[in-house]
Amino acid sequence: MKLTIPSHYVHTRATPFFDKSNVPAALLSHHNTKAGVYGRLSVMHGTVKYFGFPDAENKAPDLELVIEAGNFGISPPQKWHRIELLTEDTYFNIDFFTEPEAKLTGKGFGQVVNTHKD
């Protein structure tokens, strides 16, 4: 089964392009997207590995996905995950989508990403 973003969701924000020199530590560690937020990671060059986890505490992944250049991966709302850049030349960005009536709180990346395990 391929995960898709519901067609009525709207594009909320996009990250800049990241590579090994500027990827935020939060993306490389255990985090999730907030309730009602889908993330779409698009790889422009190189390869990214996505690790999905069943909950905030579990360190054993229940999903591993290799995303190569020209492809993307989708993370559903509140799915705990992290990524790993597999090649030196990896270059990617993330687009976030929410329900049209969603009220996002927080600032910047904190509007769509949660690193707190409470």
pLDDT tens digits, 19-30: 999 999 999 999
Least confident piece of the model among 58-62, 94-98, 107-111:
107-111
Name residues whose C-beta falls within 8 Å of residue 111's C-beta, 6 or more positions apart in sequence. Answer: 12, 13, 34, 104, 105
Cβ atoms of residues 90 and 45 within 8 Å: yes
Domains held by the chain: number:
1
Has residue 2 been placed in a domain?
no
Residue 71 maps to which CATH number? 2.60.120.10
Any idea what DSSP says for residue 106? S
Cβ atoms of residues 38 and 97 within 8 Å: yes
pTM: 0.86
d(C-alpha 10, C-alpha 67), whole Å? 23
Has residue 72 been placed in a domain?
yes
Domain containing 27: what range?
15-99
pLDDT tens digits, 66-102: 999 999 999 999 999 999 999 999 999 999 999 888 7
How many Cβ atoms from other residues are within 10 Å of residue 89's Cβ? 12
Instruction: Report the percent of the chain where pLDDT is more than 70.
Output: 86
